[in-house]
């Protein structure tokens, strides 16, 4: 451990003076190696670039935009493959591991300063096996080595720069290093490996044991859900709010969509609380701050300052999805039309900048433009003469300004097109089509009422990613648990909103793979058991993305008649409580699986039907729709046998009338009188005053098949009239 802790200090005192005799190697060879440029690489390069390149490596064959970005480096890069580690062990070489992603600014900097430099290649190629990892392609590898860097440094980011023993144990970990620092590390570690490998191996063994302990997920004992978890999480979140500038914490500010969604869900259960004021303050701070791009639309990943004025210039698909879902939901519950307009702007941005030719959505927009971080979003002062009063400007690099303000201001709406015309080309789009993130976008579109668009995208993703009974994450990369779980959730939501059985069937296929390939012994793994190289990462905790375990639980509870799913859901839910410890605010997704919140649609009849409430086309009209599987029915509103339970609807809201349709007769052996039932699809019209924009119904029903009757169900449904804004 001491060596690892001292390693960064070595960078400041030892600077190499390396020979550059191999830097002018023939273009057919990578410097310092015997690796030639293979014809297949040259053919692949011609397909992705019309530029000539002196160097070329095997990353040109990758599915990953980020890895292909390094294909013209002089470094003999490899992808993360078992065969590469076998080679490292056979040749007894240290492994140089670099992890990043294509829209990362400091990843670009390190490539230009070091990875494109033949001198660095000459230091790496003879003595190291060099591996590049795209965090979007292999998120479990990224998560594990993020923990490694955090353990050494106390924090982490990208790029990650790690040196491993041939059996993958870390002996050095850092983030960005400049060229001199990198060369120093490479020479020092290689010398130690050649002269005293025992010290490095022992150091690596001790450190790896600590990392394994930190990363290991313990199933733990079954812990009964406690209402106090929800209260503790709420209180801790409220205590961390920056009441001066908005956001959570006192430094970098993220959109924190999952935290705000949790608070919004609490408000849904108890609108009498003071959460409405707090939520509006927080959502306004996101919408009106530097997190939001006032000129081109969309939301950045985070700001670098407490005041929320200076963004880190990355736009990720998952942020657009989570922000869209949050603001579309909040627009209804908080009665804020501005939030719906903001949500629509997120949709417009994503359609314009992230949609791929095949119909799916790309992972991100690059932070860099014309070789500078954020240059696309910075403006010289002479272009800001007619700046609307509602716009604020903050000075950044080279005397240029970043602009932010309220997107709802009328003056901004008329000024925005002029600013957009000043940019002739768009920033680089990162064309990784990540299944999990596209699934989040499907769910967000549904939350925004865009059912047709969500259905189209779901069909596109299914056609492209579901291959031979398995899901792909991106390109040929097999799917991980979040790809399956997020997409399954999106398909279940489509089924609930449309009643189309195809979505239910597809969701069930995904859930079957989760149960068969990711679930074992009461636990879930992030990688399928068919994929080599397991890394035990935490799937219980929310990160910038929803906890994967929570998503699986959400899907599994829809299988209400299949014993294997019921048992797995019970085991996972019971053991999930052990993860909370004293910090329930880190597990908001799991907490919300323990409790029920109002919704506009729900599954009924043990999975054999759905019920949904929505605004009709006429003012004051609401439709309660029921869809039942074949061979299933519910008793109509009027029954002929007093022992049967009829469909019954009541509400505390101002209901003028409920127009129950007539049922149809069914003869049953257990009743001397014909039954009056609803089957297949039924729509019930409800009238309220035209000014009512929210309706909440309590519905009682009993579902039966030709063989059995289920226990009566009582449901709480809520819907909003979105056109009333």
CATH of the domain at 532: 1.50.10.20
Establish if 239 belongs to a structural domain: no
The predicted structure's pLDDT at residue 670: 61
Give pLDDT tens digits for 234-261. 999 999 999 999 999 999 999 999 999 9
Establish if 636 belongs to a structural domain: yes
The predicted structure's pLDDT at residue 722: 75
Contact 570, 222 (CB under 8 A): no
373 and 271 fall within a common domain? yes
* Domains identified in the chain, total number: 4
Give pLDDT tens digits for 625-673. 999 998 899 999 988 877 788 999 999 889 999 999 999 888 766 666 7
588 and 628 fall within a common domain? no
Establish if 352 belongs to a structural domain: no
449 and 394 fall within a common domain? no
494 and 606 fall within a common domain? no
Task: Tokens 């690596």: give the residue.
Answer: 204
The predicted structure's pLDDT at residue 98: 98
Contacts with 394 (C-beta within 8 Å, 6 or more apart), sequence order: 290, 309, 310, 401, 402, 404
156 and 254 fall within a common domain? no
The predicted structure's pLDDT at residue 216: 63
Identify which of 249, 269, 301 has the alpha carbon closest to the alpha carbon of residue 105: 301
Establish if 229 belongs to a structural domain: no
584 and 607 fall within a common domain? no
Establish if 719 belongs to a structural domain: yes
Establish if 334 belongs to a structural domain: no
Q: Which domain holds residue 58?
A: 2-215
Spans in the chain with pLDDT lower than 50: 1-26, 219-220
Q: Which of 407, 432, 457 is at the close of a domain?
A: 432
458 and 478 fall within a common domain? yes
The predicted structure's pLDDT at residue 385: 86
488 and 391 fall within a common domain? no
Establish if 238 belongs to a structural domain: no
470 and 418 fall within a common domain? no
CA distances from 495 to 143, 560, 610, 683 (A): 33, 15, 8, 17
Contact 707, 669 (CB under 8 A): no
Q: Residue 700 sits in a domain of what CATH number?
A: 2.60.40.1250
61 and 27 fall within a common domain? yes
The predicted structure's pLDDT at residue 153: 85
Q: Residue 164 sits in a domain of what CATH number?
A: 3.40.30.10
Establish if 125 belongs to a structural domain: yes
The predicted structure's pLDDT at residue 217: 54
Give pLDDT tens digits for 94-151. 999 999 999 999 999 999 999 999 999 999 999 999 999 999 999 999 999 999 999 8
466 and 543 fall within a common domain? yes
Q: Which of 173, 197, 215 is at the close of a domain?
A: 215
Q: Which of 432, 449, 479 is at the close of a domain?
A: 432
3-state secondary structure at position 501:
helix
Cross-strand pairs, 694: 720
Q: Give dist(CA 612, CA 448) in Å, integer.
A: 16
The predicted structure's pLDDT at residue 298: 97
588 and 636 fall within a common domain? no
């Amino acid at each position: 451990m001491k060596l690892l802790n001292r390693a960064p200090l070595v960078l400041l005192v030892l600077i190499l003076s390396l020979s550059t005799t191999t830097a002018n190697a023939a273009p057919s060879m990578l410097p310092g190696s015997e690796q030639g440029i293979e014809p297949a690489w040259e053919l692949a390069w011609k397909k992705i670039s019309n530029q000539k390149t002196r160097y070329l490596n095997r990353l040109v064959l990758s599915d990953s935009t980020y890895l292909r970005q390094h294909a013209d480096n002089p470094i003999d890069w490899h992808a993360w493959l078992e065969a590469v580690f076998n080679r490292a062990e056979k040749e007894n070489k240290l492994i140089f591991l670099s992890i990043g992603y294509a829209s990362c600014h400091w990843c670009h900097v390190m490539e230009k300063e070091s990875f494109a430099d033949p001198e660095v290649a000459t230091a790496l190629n003879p003595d190291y096996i060099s591996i590049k990892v795209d965090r979007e392609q292999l998120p479990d590898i990224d998560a594990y080595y993020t923990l490694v860097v955090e353990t050494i440094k106390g924090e982490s980011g990208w790029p990650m720069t790690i040196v491993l023993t041939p059996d993958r144990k870390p002996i050095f970990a850092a983030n960005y290093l400049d060229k001199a620092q990198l060369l120093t590390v490479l020479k020092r570690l290689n010398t130690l490996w050649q002269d005293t490998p025992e010290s490095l191996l022992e150091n690596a063994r001790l450190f790896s044991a600590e990392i394994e302990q930190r990363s290991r997920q313990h199933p733990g004992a079954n812990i009964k859900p406690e209402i106090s978890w929800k209260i503790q999480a709420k209180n801790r979140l409220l205590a961390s709010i920056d009441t001066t500038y908005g956001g959570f914490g006192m430094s970098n500010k993220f959109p924190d969509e999952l935290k705000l969604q949790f608070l919004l869900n609490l408000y849904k259960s108890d609108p009498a609380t003071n959460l409405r004021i707090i939520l509006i303050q927080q959502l306004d701070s996101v919408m009106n701050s530097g997190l939001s791009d006032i000129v081109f639309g969309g939301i950045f990943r985070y700001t670098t300052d407490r005041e929320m004025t200076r963004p880190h210039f990355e736009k990720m698909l998952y942020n657009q999805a989570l922000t869209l879902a949050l603001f579309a939901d909040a627009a209804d519950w908080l009665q804020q039309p501005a939030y719906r307009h903001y949500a629509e702007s997120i949709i417009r941005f994503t359609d314009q900048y992230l949609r791929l030719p095949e119909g799916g959505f790309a992972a991100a927009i690059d932070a860099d433009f014309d070789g500078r971080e954020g240059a696309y979003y910075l403006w010289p002062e002479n272009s800001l003469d007619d700046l609307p009063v509602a716009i604020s400007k903050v000075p950044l690099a080279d005397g240029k300004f970043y602009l932010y303000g309220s997107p709802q201001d009328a003056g901004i709406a008329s000024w925005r097109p002029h600013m957009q015309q000043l940019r002739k080309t768009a920033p680089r789009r990162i064309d990784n089509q990540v299944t999990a993130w596209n699934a989040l976008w499907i769910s967000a579109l549904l939350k925004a009422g865009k059912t047709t668009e969500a259905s189209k995208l779901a069909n596109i993703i299914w056609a492209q990613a579901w291959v031979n009974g398995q899901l792909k994450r991106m390109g040929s990369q097999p799917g991980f648990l979040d790809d399956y779980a997020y997409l399954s959730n999106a398909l279940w939501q489509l089924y609930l909103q449309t009643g189309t059985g195809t979505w239910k069937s597809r969701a069930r296929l995904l859930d079957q793979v989760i149960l068969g390939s990711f679930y074992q012994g009461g636990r879930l793994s992030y990688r399928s058991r068919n994929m080599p190289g397991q890394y035990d990462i935490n799937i219980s905790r929310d990160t910038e993305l929803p906890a994967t375990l929570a998503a699986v639980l959400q899907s599994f509870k829809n299988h209400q008649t299949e014993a294997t799913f019921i048992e797995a859901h019970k085991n996972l839910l019971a053991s999930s409580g052990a993860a909370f410890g004293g910090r329930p605010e880190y597990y908001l997704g799991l907490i919300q699986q323990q409790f029920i919140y109002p919704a506009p649609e729900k599954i009924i009849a043990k999975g054999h039907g759905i019920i949904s409430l929505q605004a009709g086309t006429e003012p004051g009209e609401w439709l309660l729709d029921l869809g039942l599987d074949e061979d299933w029915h519910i008793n109509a509103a009027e029954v002929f046998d007093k022992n049967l339970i009829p469909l019954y609807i009541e509400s505390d809201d101002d209901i003028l009338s409920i127009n129950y349709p007539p049922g149809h007769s069914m003869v049953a052996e257990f009743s001397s009188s014909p039954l009056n039932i609803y089957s297949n699809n039924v729509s019930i019209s409800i009238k309220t005053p035209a000014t009512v924009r929210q309706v909440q119904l309590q519905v009682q029903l009993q579902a039966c098949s030709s063989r059995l009757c289920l226990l009566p169900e009582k449901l709480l449904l809520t819907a909003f009239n979105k056109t009333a804004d």
